[in-house]
Amino acid sequence: MKILGKFPSTRLRRTRKKDWVRRLVSENNLSTDDLILPIFIREGKNKIEKIKSMPGINRYSVDKINNVIEKACKKKIPLIALFPYTPNKKKDSYGTESLNEDNLVCRALRSIKKNFKEIGVMCDVALDPYTNHGHDGIIINSDIHNDKTLEILKKQSLLQAQMGCDVIAPSDMMDGRVGVI
């Protein structure tokens, strides 16, 4: 008899642990259980800013996201995804703001996890929101330095997880990022 699958080395208990993830990975029924609500966040207080390139979509300061998340919870959306808009003064060539435990994403995570136990939070892992050149990778002598970027992405992922992120979503396109994370 040939054993199929990878049990017992692969155990999917994490996909059964909480209601939001059970709903997210359930079989093929299209419902709100299949949705992920992107929330675009920005610095400041009491701010809601229209995103010109995306009509009807806003960026919210951390103190303003509770209403959005409450609506998502009422509609039984299982997961939200955070996307930061970093001010230019916090950007540099290495994306070091991504490793600041008081950065916008970390503050949002702490607030969400304090106020909402029933919804999952996904975070983008990439450096483009934090670099002054806008690229996902570290640029050295006009070349993308893959391995230096991986070290930062690994630390960014760990920080987000420590702050309460439930799903890490690397979008950076660096070779080997999933294995390193």
List, for residues 67-76, the tens digit of each pLDDT value. Answer: 999 999 999 9
48 closest CA partner among 70, 66, 72 = 66
Structure tokens that stand for 148 in this block = 């230096």
Structure tokens that stand for 110 in this block = 């702490």
Instruction: Report the 10 Å Cβ neighbour count for 76.
Output: 15
pLDDT given at position 135: 94
Is residue 55 classed as helix, strand or coil in its secondary structure? coil
CA–CA separation, 174 vs 177, rounded Å? Answer: 6
pLDDT in tens, 75-93: 999 999 999 999 999 999 9
Please indicate whether residue 4 or residue 142 has the higher confidence score (pLDDT).
Answer: 142
Task: State the distance between the two ends of the chain, measured CA to CA, in whole angstroms.
Answer: 35
pTM equals 0.84
Please indicate whether residue 11 or residue 92 has the higher confidence score (pLDDT).
Answer: 92
Ranges 28-32, 73-77, 136-140, 159-163: which has the least confidence: 28-32
Residue 121 pLDDT greater than 80, yes or no: yes
DSSP secondary structure letters along 60-80: EEGGGHHHHHHHHHHTT--EE
pLDDT given at position 44: 97
Residue 51 pLDDT greater than 90, yes or no: yes
